[in-house]
Amino acid sequence: MKFNTIAIVAAEGPEAQKALTSLSQRYETVASKEADIIVALGGDGFMLESLLGNIKDIKPVYGMNRGSVGFLMNAFKEDDLLERLENAEPADIHPLRMTATDTTGAEHQGLAINEVALLRQTRMAAKLRIEIDGIERMAELVCDGALVATPAGSTAYNVSAHGPIIPIGAGVLALTPISAFRPRRWRGALLPETATVAFHVIDPTIRKVNATAGFTEVSQVARVEICRDPDTTVTLLFDPEHDLEERIFKEQFLP
């Protein structure tokens, strides 16, 4: 990938801040708004924050792991950074767009790279009605919540909720229940990436539900609509020997 300027940003943790100081001394950098490429130092959470934080001024982001899991990050090395950036391979992702309507009728927008999730907020289970492309597919799901995940996010919260791992480029989204009580054996569905999913919360003032998309959280939602945003693209950069498609594929064979 060709570039002229880089910006280096870091999470607040000591390891990330130490790496930021060291790399800033070795390489010429500019502010994020002026850069062609952003180097993000931290964990997966900071990578998602960096991508969503630059969504209006879209720039490719190359992450180096100075956090914990680092699934979306490359290995941290101080040497040959410019060469690694030039050889990095892009992974373009269209995020999910959430439109959440709360119990007052107000609408809230949010973008999510991994998933949009609904979660109950009281001692009582949530009750959700599910529509796909305007057609009711489930009249009542009694559960702790539900989520819609992208392929890139399918190895995150989706896997914890026993959802399927989806290869990049599969062209599908995962609709996964969280602790479903009724229907007890329903494990979710795979949907075309063009699908629009609408969750209607049954008794939303009593069985209160929150919705999250990335760093946007909306309380006491009555309806949540989710669709892939084809007009928005975020670009992650990976070392050729450790690309995102291969990482997700390997996740299916972990013990």
pTM, 2 dp: 0.92
Q: 89: how many CB neighbours lie within 10 A of its CB?
A: 15
Catalytic residue check, 44: yes
Calpha distance 125→147 (Å, rounded): 15
Token duo for residue 125: 């289970």
Helix, strand or coil, per DSSP, at residue 49: helix
Give the closest residue to 215 by CA, choosing from 144, 94, 105, 117. 117
Structural domains in the chain?
6-93+233-251 (3.40.50.10330), 96-228 (2.60.200.30)
Q: State the catalytic residue, choosing from 44, 80, 133, 203.
A: 44
Query: Mean pLDDT, to the nearest integer, of 14-33?
Result: 96
Min mean pLDDT across 57-61, 123-127, 170-174 is at 57-61
Task: Identify the band that residue 54 occupies on the pLDDT scale cut at 50, 70 and 90.
Answer: low
Q: Residues 63, 69: contact at Cβ < 8 Å? A: no
